[in-house]
């Protein structure tokens, strides 16, 4: 008699139960595969289902549906548009890296697509939101304290949109966001320059201030850059450069607190020593 039949009843029942469970799993898997195989929706139907999930803000189901469309129908106008939609879903689902990678792939694959301007705009929007995010909603004035790498990426994305598609309907909004980004990028440089001034790293402060004047001219931080130049050049004992910065400050910003403060100090000094 085989060893199996000589074993006790408990062992036989355990083995039989394991076989039954394995057969059940295989049968269920086969049924699921048959069910998937029977899903004969065409590209248009798959796209409509995915779009419905997007409109209902069901981000997870929308992602699954768009990916299914791209897998079953790798070519065609619905698949092309699904890449843009999927990028937007990743963006709204707070997955910026997936959104950016999908947008980059779309731009590389379909550089002449009628909606490629939207891809550039959405790239800028994703990076813009990364720079602002939760902090802006809580403390809008502290946005400039953050690392500005995403802000710079957004600025470059919007700039590329303006360069390539100056007549795009997304240009007006992109231009307004660029003004905000430009001001914050300049403000960040001034914060760093102020830090260098406090640390007595005057050459580094000069470099940051000059960068603001050269790269971000005519921003609200222009006057602060001139103040930093005057302070740093004075400490570096470069009177000609310090006087040059002061002249520009006094001419263009006569009511600035720094200019008024220096004038008051000079006025008191002249009273104490009125001789020239």
Where are the chain's structural domains?
42-96
For residue 245, name the pLDDT band (cuts at 50, 70, 90): very high
Q: Which two tokens stand for residue 199?
A: 């640390």
The whole-number average pLDDT for the span 255-264 is 82
- CA distances, 136 to each of 9, 88, 222, 272 (Å): 70, 21, 23, 50
pTM of the full structure = 0.73
pLDDT at 41: 83
End-to-end CA distance of the chain: 126
pLDDT at 26: 57
pLDDT at 192: 93
Q: Is pLDDT at 213 greater than 80 in this prediction?
A: yes
Q: Which two tokens stand for residue 133?
A: 């995010």
Q: Is pLDDT at 135 greater than 50 in this prediction?
A: no
The whole-number average pLDDT for the span 244-251 is 93
pLDDT at 270: 47
Q: Is pLDDT at 131 greater than 60 in this prediction?
A: yes
**For residues 263 and 210, which has the higher predicted lDDT (pLDDT)?**
210
pLDDT at 36: 46
Q: Is pLDDT at 179 greater than 80 in this prediction?
A: yes
CB 122, CB 99: distance < 8 Å: yes
């Amino acid at each position: 008699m085989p060893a199996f039949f000589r074993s006790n009843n408990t062992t036989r029942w355990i083995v039989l139960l394991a076989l039954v469970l394995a057969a059940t799993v295989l049968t269920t898997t086969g049924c699921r595969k048959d069910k998937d195989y029977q899903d004969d929706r065409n590209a248009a139907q798959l796209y409509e289902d995915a779009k419905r999930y997007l409109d209902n803000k069901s981000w997870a189901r929308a992602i699954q549906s768009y990916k299914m469309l791209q897998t079953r129908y790798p070519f065609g106008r619905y698949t092309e548009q699904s890449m843009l939609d999927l990028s937007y879903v990743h963006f709204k689902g707070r997955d910026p890296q997936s959104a950016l990678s999908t947008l980059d792939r779309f731009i590389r694959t379909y550089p002449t697509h009628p909606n490629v301007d939207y891809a550039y705009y959405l790239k800028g929007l994703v990076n813009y939101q990364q720079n602002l995010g939760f902090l802006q909603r809580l403390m809008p004035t502290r946005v400039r304290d953050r690392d500005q790498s995403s802000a710079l990426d957004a600025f470059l994305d919007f700039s590329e949109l303006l360069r390539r598609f100056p007549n795009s309907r997304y240009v007006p909004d992109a231009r307004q966001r660029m003004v905000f980004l430009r001001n914050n990028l300049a403000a960040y440089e001034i914060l760093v320059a102020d830090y260098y001034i406090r640390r007595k790293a005057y050459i580094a402060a000069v470099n940051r201030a000059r960068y603001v004047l050269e790269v971000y001219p005519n921003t609200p931080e222009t006057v602060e850059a001139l103040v930093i130049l005057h302070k740093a050049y004075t400490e570096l004992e470069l009177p000609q450069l310090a006087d040059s910065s002061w002249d520009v400050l006094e001419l263009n910003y006569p009511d600035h607190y720094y200019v008024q403060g220096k004038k008051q100090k000079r006025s008191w000094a002249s009273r104490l020593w009125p001789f020239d």
